[in-house]
Homo-oligomer: A and B are copies of this chain.
Amino acid sequence: MGRPKQFDPDAAVDRAMDVFWRKGYAGTTPQDLVDELGIGKGSLYATFDSKRALFDRALERYREQQADTLARIIDQPGPVKPRLRAALQFIVEANAADPDRRGCLAVNTAAELGGADPKATLDVRHMFERTQGALEAVITEGQRTGEIRSDIPGAALSAYLFTTVVGLQLLVKTVRDPLDLTQVVEAAIRSL
């Protein structure tokens, strides 16, 4: 009943995610959102309530999307190290191909709101824990098969590898050429 929406809210969240990703939370204005989503301010606020609520949805959307992407690379058959290498190298190459060098929305949000905004801090923490968990599964698998060193506990090793992942996501934004970070990926894999 009633008039149906003229736009797809989920698609709008996708576009909003992109804006926040490029400009950060504080750096994004309602006008930016109106321009990029292609809907009126009325619809924007009627549908999403507030800039912050939309940001929260965008962050959640990012979580779903990234979980997929990472899982698809990491959950392959075959030896463990190449799978991990592919995951890290994907970060490097995706950002080398991105003229905006957006990095990772979760990492950017951690930097901007972490420590200051409890809700955002928690959301990002959960995303981080999820990713680190995925790495840990692969690493302990590698430790069982002997592909990965066992003198460091799997939990510590995956926390360490995840720290590298986060560092990479940050560094792609400032480095002259993201592909230079390939040597970091190699070093990280070799040290496992």
Contact = CB atoms under 8 A, between A and B. Distances in A.
Interface of A: 22-24, 26-27, 100-103, 107-108, 110-112, 114-116, 121, 124-125, 128, 151-152, 155-157, 159-160, 162-168, 170-171, 173-176, 181, 183-184, 186-188, 190-191
Contact of A159 (B156, B173, B176, B187): B187
Assembly of this chain: how many copies? 2
Nearest to A157: B187
A184 B155 CA distance: 10
Contacts of A164: 160, 163-164, 167
Given A164-B163, A165-B167, A110 B24 contact: no
Contact of A115 (B100, B151, B167, B190): B100
Given A27-B26, A100-B116, A116-B100, A167 B163 contact: yes
Given A108-B111, A108-B112, A156-B187, A174 B26 contact: no
A160 B24 contact: no
A160 to B, nearest CB: 4
Determine which residue in A102, A167, A184 has the highest number of CB atoms from chain B within 10 A of its CB, and name it: A167
Nearest to A163: B167
Closest 4 CB pairs of A and B: A101-B115, A114-B173, A111-B111, A167-B167
